Amino acid sequence: MIESKEILLKSRPKGPPRPEDFAIVTRELSEPADGEFLIRNIWMSVDPYMRGRMRAGKSYVAPFELGEPLQGGAVGEVMHSRHPDFEEGQLVLHDKGWREFLLSDGAGVTRLPPTGAPSELYLGLLGMPGMTAYFGLFDVGALQDGDTVFVSGAAGAVGSTVCQLAKIKSCRVVASCGSDEKAKWLTQDIGVDAVINYRDCEDLGAALAAAAPDGVDVFFDNVGGEHLEAALLNMRQFGRIVECGMISEYNLTGEPPVIRYLINTIIKQLKIEGFIVGRYQARWPEAMKVMMEWYHQGLLNSRSTVYEGIERAPEAMIGLFEGHNTGKMLVNLCSQSNLGIEVEFI
């Protein structure tokens, strides 16, 4: 028998998630039977879309069940295997985070390729957030070399990747984020051309006009609300607005805000398109190949904010909505793991 701590959803949050919406329990797992193997989770991903799954009702992913462990991207190590395709010591990627151990028959589990990249990058830069940035910017946003790009939520996992991809394509990048410390990282390490700290800004539209005096070709939106309005005021003719996320609305309890200035979609002949990264699943290998090349050439920088211990996973989730992460928000479940990237422990 193995004891595994797991995080359950105790109640559906009303407004921002609170510690009391989660519970931690210990479950006993039996030894693997024939055709099964045991995974010890090392890293788990904490993502804004999980907030949507805490609501009852249909969305593009099924809701979490009350009293059941939460789920989400995780990297783990095979500890004990009675499965022909998974040997002990193998690092794997799967979608059953929020628990220390997982007994698996292999469904939904993939082996991490031996690329030399730190395993946690498969939850960030080289994982779902990286793919979101890649397809959102190049496919949905139809980025052209030299475009002016405005990125909201720019210091997060998706946003910081978008900024770097746009810089690789010789674009001028204007980034928005929520603190001076994040602004410094975006300027010094990520290489953006201008930053707006939206928390310290009375008029986002005017600040964007000053940072992008000739207008914006592509707006990559992770936030919605005032950021979308500011972009609508500053887009160039035939600009593209990529609706990736609207995190400013995820914890709302009342009616969503009215978005003004939509008339600019006509006046400036804009294209505005929302997308879900799963649409591009079949093309992930193509994007991974390119991203891996850029990573090995040193063109892609990555940073993570790491909460240590499964007990702190709810705190990490709550922290996403308070801007506590710079780069990817992760929970480290196993302190012996090899940390290969720049991390900030909390």
Please report the beta strands in 68-146, taking only residues with DSSP state E, as ranges in sequence order: 74-81, 91-94, 101-104, 110-111
Nearer of residues 42 and 155 to ligand NDP, judged by Cβ: 155
Strand, helix or coil for residue 217: strand
Residue 141 binding ligand NDP, by CB under 6 A: no
Residue 323 binding ligand NDP, by CB under 6 A: yes
Which residues partner with 92 through β-bridges? 76, 111
Nearer of residues 109 and 277 to ligand NDP, judged by Cβ: 277
d(CA 35, CA 140): 41
Nearer of residues 24 and 201 to ligand NDP, judged by Cβ: 201
| Cβ proximity of 341 and 301 under 8 Å | no
Residue 248 binding ligand NDP, by CB under 6 A: yes
Residue 239 binding ligand NDP, by CB under 6 A: no
Residue 25 binding ligand NDP, by CB under 6 A: no
Minimum separation from the CB atom of position 224 to ligand NDP (A) = 8
Nearer of residues 59 and 170 to ligand NDP, judged by Cβ: 59
Residue 301 binding ligand NDP, by CB under 6 A: no
Nearer of residues 38 and 44 to ligand NDP, judged by Cβ: 44
Distances (CA, A) of 307 to 11, 26, 41, 43, 44: 22, 20, 14, 10, 10
Residue 151 binding ligand NDP, by CB under 6 A: no
CA 238 to chain centre: 28
**Segment 162-165 long-range contacts (CB within 8 Å, at least 24 positions apart):** 162/133, 162/136, 162/137, 162/220, 163/190, 163/191, 163/192, 164/190, 164/191, 164/299, 164/300, 164/301, 165/133, 165/134, 165/137, 165/138
Helices (H), the chain: 49-53, 128-135, 157-168, 180-185, 204-211, 226-234, 264-267, 284-296, 313-320
Minimum separation from the CB atom of position 72 to ligand NDP (A) = 11
Please report the beta strands in the chain, taking only residues with DSSP state E, as ranges in sequence order: 2-9, 22-29, 37-45, 74-81, 91-94, 101-104, 110-111, 148-151, 172-177, 194-197, 216-221, 235-243, 271-274, 303-308, 328-332, 342-345
- Taking residues 252 to 291 in sequence order and writing x for each that binds ligand NDP by CB under 6 A, - otherwise, the string is -----------------------xxx--------------
Binders of ligand NDP in range 45-104 (CB under 6 A):
47-49
Which of 17, 156, 239, 314 binds ligand NDP (CB under 6 A)? It is 156
Binding segment toward ligand NDP, per CB under 6 A, in 101-109, 162-170, 321-329, 336-344: 321-329
Residue 178 binding ligand NDP, by CB under 6 A: yes
Which of 132, 234, 304, 332 binds ligand NDP (CB under 6 A)? It is 132
Residue 244 binding ligand NDP, by CB under 6 A: yes
Residue 41 binding ligand NDP, by CB under 6 A: no
Which of 102, 194, 291, 320 binds ligand NDP (CB under 6 A)? It is 320
User: Binding residues for ligand NDP, per CB under 6 A?
Assistant: 47-49, 129, 132, 153, 155-159, 177-179, 182, 222-223, 244-245, 247-248, 275-277, 320-321, 323, 325, 329
